[in-house]
C-alpha cells in the first residue's frame, strides 16, 4: 500500500470522520482516499476553497466532538499557520498531515524534504508547544496517524504528522491491526469553568451542542472563556499552561527506537533518512554505531540523549539544513554533526559511511 | 422568552461605542431567533474579527469567535459535522468582504445552510476607522484621507450572483423589516445573507458629515429605496439616483443546499 493511503486508513481506523482539505502535491492521495471512503462510513469530506479554510473547517468540526483532520504540504502548511495558532489558543484537538516537499515557496512539489520541522514547532505567532510525529515507513503512516488522534484528544492540541514525499509515495507492506486503541476526549464536567485546567493542565472538552454554552475565542481568555486581553497575569498564566501541558509531558509523549545504546558514535534520525541509517547499520553489522530514531520529534525529549551514556558524537542526517540538529545541540555538550541533504534525494549509505570515516 | 433571554448578562456592559448600530442588529437577530422556537443548546454563533464579531461573546449559547475573515470556513465545518445545529454568523464588511471575500463567495456557491448577518458600517471600526471594501467612493477614512477613490462592493449583489438562497438588505433604521428578514433567512434552507447597514458614529459618521448619530440613521431612512420601487423605476426607464441604495428582499430561491439536516 502507498504511504498516503495508509495515512488515510489509519485516520479512519482511529475514528476520524471529518476531512477538510485542498489538493496539493504530494499529499493529494490522502484527500482522494478520504473523499472516497468517508461518505460510505457516515463521515464528511469537503474540499474547501484553500488551506486556510480547510484547517478552519477542521477546527469547527472538532468543536462538535468529531475527530477531524486535514492533509497538505509546504505552501498549504504556511497558509494554515494563523488558524493553527487559533487551535492552539482555543485548545482544539485536530490532526494535520504535512507530506513535506522541497521549499521555500513552490520549490520542489514532487520531491521529499524535511524543511518544515521548525515551522511546525514555531510557525504561528506567539509562544506555544505542539506535538509532531515523524513516520519512516508505510506502516508508521498508518500507526502514527492513528496515534496522532489520541494525542490530539488527550492534550487538546493540533498534532502534526510530519511525513515527506518519499514516505507518502512509497509502497510497502502494511499490516492492518484488528483495531486501534482509541482514547476519548475528557469531557468538561458540568458546572466546571470551561477553561479551568485540573492537575494535568488540560481542561475538559465542552462539545458544542451539549448544553455547555461555552464561548470560545482566540483572544486571551480567562477560565470562563471570556476575553481578557489586557490583563498581564491572565495572559501569562494561559500561555505558560498551554506550553507546560505539552512540554512537561514530553517524556511520556516520546516514542523512539534505540539501537546499540553503548555505542560511542550515534546516529539520530527521523522520517525517511532513518531508512538510510538502518541500511548502513545493517551493512556494517557493527555494535559500535548507535541509532536513535525519533517517532515523536516535538516536544523534543532530551532525556533520550542520556540513553546513550558513552556517546561522543551524534550524527544527524536530515533532509534540511540541520533543523533538529540545532535542537539537539541545545541539549548536549557532546559533539553534534549535522548531515544536511537538500534536493529531494535521500542520503546514500555511502555518504553516511563517509561521515563515519571522517570521524576516525 | 425575549431577545434578552439569549444574552450572557455577566459579560455586560459590551464594548460598543455610544450610538453604535450593532446593538440594534443583535437585538433584531436575537428577536428573530427567539421566534423560531430553537433551543439554546442547538444554536451556535460564529464570528470572525471586528466590532460585529464581538457579538457572539454576549450570547448565552455555544459560540466560536475565530480569526479575521474565516468565520464562514469554521462555520462550514461545524454545520457539516453536526447538521442538527443551527449556525448563525455575525460578520462585518471588512471581515466578510475583504479578508474573507473568498470564503464568502464559496459559502454562497455551496449554498450551505447557514444564516449570515453582516453589520455593514462601511469602515474598519475596531482598528480606528480605516477604509473598507464597502466605504463609498469619496468617503473619508484614516486610510482614504482625500476620499476613497475605489468602488464599493455590493455585498447583496455578490451573494446573489454567487448562489445564496436568501438575500436581503435593510438598515438599523428598519428594525421590524430587518427582524423579519433575519427570520426569513433562518427559515430558508441553504445560505441566507442579511446585510444590515449600520451607523458608526465614532469612526465613520464624524468624518463624513454625520455629526449626530441620528444624522446617519436619517440618511439611511431617506436614501433607502425599496426593491419593488427600484424595479418599477427601472421598468419605467427612470434612473435610480446614485446616492440611493436598494433595500428589501433581493433574492429568494430554492437552489439545492448543503448541510441541510435530512
Q: What is the pLDDT of residue B2?
A: 86
Residues of chain B contacting residue A86, judged by C-beta atoms under 8 Å apart: 66-67
| pLDDT tens digits along B154-182 | 999 999 999 999 999 999 999 999 999 99
Q: Hey, is the C-beta of A61 within 8 angstroms of any chain B C-beta?
A: yes
User: How far apart (Å, rounded) are the C-alpha atoms in residues A205 and A203?
Assistant: 6
Q: Percent of chain B scored above 70 by pLDDT?
A: 99
User: How many angstroms from the chain centroid is the CA of residue B212?
Assistant: 23
Q: Hey, is the C-beta of A218 within 8 angstroms of any chain B C-beta?
A: yes
B262 — pLDDT class (breaks 50, 70, 90): low
| pLDDT tens digits along A41-81 | 999 999 999 999 999 999 999 999 999 999 999 999 999 99
Mind telling me how many Å the CA of B46 is from chain A's nearest CA?
Answer: 9
Q: Percent of chain B scored above 90 by pLDDT?
A: 97
Q: What is the pLDDT of residue B116?
A: 98
Mean pLDDT in chain B? 97
Three-class DSSP labels, B71-131:
HHHHHHHHHHHCCCCEEEEEEEHHHHHHHCHHHHHHHHHHCECCEEEEEECCCECCCCCEC
In chain A, domain spans = 3-169, 257-359
Mind telling me how many Å the CA of A21 is from chain B's nearest CA?
Answer: 11
- Note whether B82 contacts A209, CB cutoff 8 Å: yes
Q: What is the pLDDT of residue B3?
A: 85
- By CA distance, what is A206's nearest residue in B? B62
Q: Hey, is the C-beta of A81 within 8 angstroms of any chain B C-beta?
A: no
Q: Tell me, which fold does domain A257-359 have in CATH?
A: Rossmann fold (3.40.50)
Q: What is the pLDDT of residue B200?
A: 98
- List Cα–Cα distances, B253 to A125, B160, B249, in angstroms: 43, 10, 11
Mind telling me how many Å the CA of B178 is from chain A's nearest CA?
Answer: 26
Q: Hey, is the C-beta of B103 within 8 angstroms of any chain A C-beta?
A: yes
Adjacent-strand bridge partners of B118 = B91, B195
Taking the CA atoms of chain B, what radius of gyration do you get in angstroms? Answer: 17
Interface test with B, best of A42, A57, A96, A218 (most B CBs within 10 A): A57
Same fold, A3-169 and A257-359: yes
Q: Hey, is the C-beta of B14 within 8 angstroms of any chain A C-beta?
A: no
Whether the predicted pLDDT of B140 surpasses 90: yes
Q: Pick B81's closest partner by Cβ from A44, A218, A219.
A: A44
Mean pLDDT over B104-129 rounds to 98
| pLDDT tens digits along A203-243 | 999 999 999 999 999 999 999 999 999 999 999 999 999 99
| pLDDT tens digits along B181-201 | 999 999 999 999 999 999 999
Q: What is the pLDDT of residue B261?
A: 78
Q: Hey, is the C-beta of A223 within 8 angstroms of any chain B C-beta?
A: no
Q: Hey, is the C-beta of A234 within 8 angstroms of any chain B C-beta?
A: no
Q: Pick B64's closest partner by Cβ from A20, A48, A60.
A: A60
Q: Which CATH architecture has domain A3-169?
A: 3-Layer(aba) Sandwich (3.40)
User: How far apart (Å, rounded) are the C-alpha atoms in residues B89 and B186?
Assistant: 11
Per-residue pLDDT of chain A (360 residues; tens, 9 = 90+): 999 999 999 999 999 999 999 999 999 999 999 999 999 999 999 999 999 999 999 999 999 999 999 999 999 999 999 999 999 999 999 999 999 999 999 999 999 999 999 999 999 999 999 999 999 999 999 999 999 999 999 999 999 999 999 999 999 999 999 999 999 999 999 999 999 999 999 999 999 999 999 999 999 999 999 999 999 999 999 999 999 999 999 999 999 999 999 999 999 999 999 999 999 999 999 889 999 999 999 999 999 999 999 999 999 999 999 999 999 999 999 999 999 999 999 999 999 999 999 998
Contact A5, A42 (CB under 8 A): no
Mean pLDDT over B220-232 rounds to 98
- Note whether A208 contacts B65, CB cutoff 8 Å: no
B4 — pLDDT class (breaks 50, 70, 90): confident
Q: What does DSSP assign to residue A303?
A: G
The correct CATH number of B17-230 out of 3.40.640.10, 3.40.109.10, 3.40.50.970, 3.40.50.2300 is 3.40.50.970
- Note whether B65 contacts A211, CB cutoff 8 Å: no
* A-B C-beta contacts closer than 8 Å: 123
Residues of chain A contacting residue B106, judged by C-beta atoms under 8 Å apart: 48-49, 53
- Note whether A209 contacts B56, CB cutoff 8 Å: no
Q: What is the pTM of this model?
A: 0.98
Mean pLDDT over B46-65 rounds to 98
| B128-160: burial string, b at 16+ Cβ within 10 Å, e else | ebbbbbbbbeebbbeebeeebeeebbbbbebbb
User: How far apart (Å, rounded) are the C-alpha atoms in residues B29 and B178?
Assistant: 8
Q: What is the pLDDT of residue B258?
A: 96
- Name A255's Cβ contacts closer than 8 Å, sequence gap at least 6: A133, A147, A294, A295, A296
Mind telling me how many Å the CA of A119 is from chain B's nearest CA?
Answer: 20
Q: How many CA atoms lie within 13 A of B229 on its CB side?
A: 11
Amino acid at each position: 500500500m502507498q504511504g498516503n493511503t495508509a495515512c488515510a486508513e489509519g485516520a479512519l481506523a482511529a475514528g476520524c470522520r471529518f476531512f477538510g482539505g485542498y489538493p496539493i502535491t504530494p499529499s493529494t492521495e490522502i484527500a482522494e482516499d478520504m473523499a472516497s471512503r468517508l461518505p460510505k462510513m457516515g463521515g464528511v469530506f469537503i474540499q474547501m476553497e484553500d488551506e486556510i479554510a480547510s484547517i478552519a473547517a477542521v477546527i469547527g468540526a472538532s468543536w462538535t466532538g468529531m475527530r477531524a483532520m486535514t492533509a497538505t504540504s509546504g505552501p498549504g502548511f504556511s497558509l494554515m499557520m494563523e488558524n493553527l495558532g487559533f487551535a492552539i489558543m482555543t485548545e482544539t484537538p485536530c490532526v494535520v498531515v504535512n507530506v513535506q516537499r522541497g521549499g521555500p515557496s513552490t520549490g520542489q512539489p514532487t520531491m521529499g524534504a524535511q524543511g518544515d520541522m521548525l515551522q511546525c514547532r514555531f510557525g504561528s505567532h506567539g509562544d506555544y508547544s505542539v506535538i509532531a510525529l515523524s513516520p519512516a515507513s508505510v506502516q508508521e503512516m498508518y500507526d502514527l496517524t492513528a496515534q496522532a488522534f489520541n494525542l490530539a484528544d488527550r492534550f487538546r492540541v493540533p498534532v502534526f504528522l510530519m511525513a515527506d514525499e518519499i514516505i507518502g509515495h512509497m509502497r510497502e507492506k502494511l499490516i492492518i491491526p484488528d483495531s486501534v486503541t482509541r482514547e476519548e476526549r475528557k469531557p468538561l464536567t458540568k458546572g466546571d469553568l470551561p477553561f479551568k485546567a485540573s492537575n494535568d493542565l488540560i481542561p475538559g472538552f465542552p462539545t458544542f451542542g451539549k448544553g455547555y454554552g461555552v464561548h470560545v475565542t482566540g483572544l486571551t481568555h480567562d477560565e470562563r472563556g471570556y476575553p481578557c486581553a489586557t490583563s498581564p497575569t491572565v495572559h501569562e498564566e494561559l500561555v505558560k499552561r498551554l506550553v507546560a501541558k505539552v512540554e512537561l509531558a514530553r517524556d511520556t509523549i516520546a516514542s523512539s527506537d534505540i539501537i546499540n545504546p553503548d555505542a560511542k558514535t550515534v546516529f539520530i534520525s527521523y522520517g525517511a533518512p532513518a531508512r538510510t541509517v538502518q541500511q548502513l547499520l545493517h551493512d556494517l553489522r557493527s555494535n559500535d554505531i548507535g541509532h536513535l530514531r525519533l517517532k515523536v520529534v516535538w516536544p523534543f525529549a532530551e532525556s533520550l540523549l542520556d540513553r546513550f551514556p558513552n556517546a561522543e558524537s551524534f550524527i544527524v542526517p536530515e533532509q534540511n539544513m540541520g533543523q533538529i540538529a540545532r535542537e539537539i545541540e541545545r541539549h548536549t555538550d557532546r559533539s553534534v554533526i549535522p548531515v544536511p541533504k537538500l534536493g529531494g534525494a535521500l542520503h546514500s549509505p555511502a555518504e553516511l559511511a563517509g561521515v563515519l570515516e571522517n570521524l576516525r | 422568552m425575549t431577545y434578552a433571554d439569549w444574552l450572557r448578562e455577566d459579560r455586560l456592559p459590551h464594548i460598543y461605542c455610544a450610538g453604535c448600530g450593532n446593538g440594534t442588529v443583535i437585538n433584531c437577530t436575537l428577536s428573530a431567533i427567539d421566534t423560531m422556537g430553537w433551543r439554546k443548546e442547538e444554536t451556535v454563533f460564529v464570528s470572525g474579527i471586528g466590532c460585529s464579531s464581538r457579538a457572539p461573546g454576549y450570547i448565552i449559547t455555544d459560540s466560536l469567535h475565530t480569526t479575521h475573515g474565516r468565520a464562514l470556513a469554521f462555520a462550514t465545518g461545524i454545520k457539516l459535522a453536526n447538521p442538527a445545529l443551527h449556525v448563525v454568523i455575525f460578520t462585518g464588511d471588512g471581515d466578510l468582504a475583504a479578508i474573507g471575500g473568498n470564503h464568502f463567495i464559496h459559502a454562497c456557491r455551496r449554498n450551505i445552510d447557514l444564516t449570515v448577518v453582516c453589520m455593514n458600517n462601511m469602515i474598519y471600526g475596531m482598528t480606528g476607522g480605516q477604509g473598507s471594501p464597502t466605504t463609498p467612493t469619496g468617503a473619508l477614512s484614516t486610510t482614504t484621507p482625500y476620499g476613497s477613490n475605489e468602488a464599493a462592493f455590493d455585498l447583496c449583489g455578490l451573494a446573489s450572483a454567487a448562489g445564496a438562497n436568501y438575500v436581503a438588505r435593510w438598515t438599523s433604521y428598519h428594525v421590524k423589516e430587518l427582524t423579519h428578514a433575519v427570520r426569513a433567512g433562518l427559515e430558508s434552507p441553504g445560505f441566507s445573507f442579511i446585510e444590515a447597514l449600520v451607523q458608526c458614529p465614532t469612526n465613520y459618521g464624524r468624518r463624513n458629515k454625520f455629526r449626530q448619530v441620528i444624522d446617519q440613521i436619517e440618511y439611511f431612512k431617506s436614501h433607502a429605496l425599496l426593491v419593488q420601487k427600484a424595479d418599477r423605476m427601472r421598468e419605467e426607464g427612470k434612473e435610480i439616483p446614485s446616492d440611493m441604495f436598494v433595500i428589501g428582499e433581493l433574492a429568494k430561491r430554492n437552489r439545492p443546499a448543503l448541510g441541510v439536516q435530512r
